[in-house]
Amino acid sequence: MKTSILFTALFFISVGLCAQQVISSGGGSASQQNIQMSYTIGEPVTETFVAGEKVLTQGFHQTRLVVTSIETVEYLPFSIAVFPNPTHNTLNIRLSNEPNSMLSYTIFDVNGKQIFCTESDRVENSFDVTGFAPGMYLLQIAVGKEYISSYRIVKQ
C-alpha cells in the first residue's frame, strides 16, 4: 500500500515538473533588464481562449498574441475602385480623379511572392490576369515608396 501511494505521489510530482517544458526542433530566448522574449519553431498557435485573468493557448508557446494592423492613409485626393472581383480575365482599376504622380500596382500571391508589377498615371487601368492560377491575390497600390491601399483579389 505504501509503495502504491509513493509511486502515485512521485508520478504526479514528475508530471507537474515536466508540464511547463517545451520540446521543439528550434528556438531561443533573450532577456534584457525587464524585457524577455522567447520563441519556438514548430507548431503554430491555433486557438486562444480567455476567461478573466486566465489565458489558454494551443501550440508550443503559450504567450500573448499581438496583432499589428496595416497602416492606412487617412486622406487620398481620389477614391479607388477595383472590379470585377472575383475576376476571370481582366482586373480593372478606376480612380475618381487624376493622380498627381505615378502609381505602382503590385500583385502578390498568397505566399507573398510578387507576380505582377506596373506603374501608371492614368485614371483607368486594365490588367490581364488570364495567366494567373485560380486563387486569392493581394493588390497593393503605392505612390513611390508610400503605401496607399491594398485589395484582396479573387481569380476564378
CB 72 within 8 A of CB 95: no
Residue 145 sits in the same domain as residue 86: yes
What's the chain's average pLDDT?
A: 77
- Could you report the per-residue pLDDT of 49-69, keeping only the tens digit for each? 677 777 666 655 555 545 555
**Host domain of residue 86:** 80-155
Place of cell 481569380: 155
Above 70 in pLDDT, residue 75? no
CB 39 within 8 A of CB 61: yes
Say how far residue 113 (Cα) sits from the centre of its chain.
Answer: 14
Q: How many domains does the chain have?
A: 2
- Selected residue with higher pLDDT from 152 and 68: 152
The answer to whether the pTM exceeds 0.85 is: no
Above 50 in pLDDT, residue 79? yes
For residues 66-76, average pLDDT = 57
Flag whether 111 is in a domain: yes
Cβ atoms < 10 Å from Cβ of 146: 8
> CATH number for the domain including 102?
2.60.40.1930
Residue 100 sits in the same domain as residue 148: yes
Residue 141 sits in the same domain as residue 117: yes
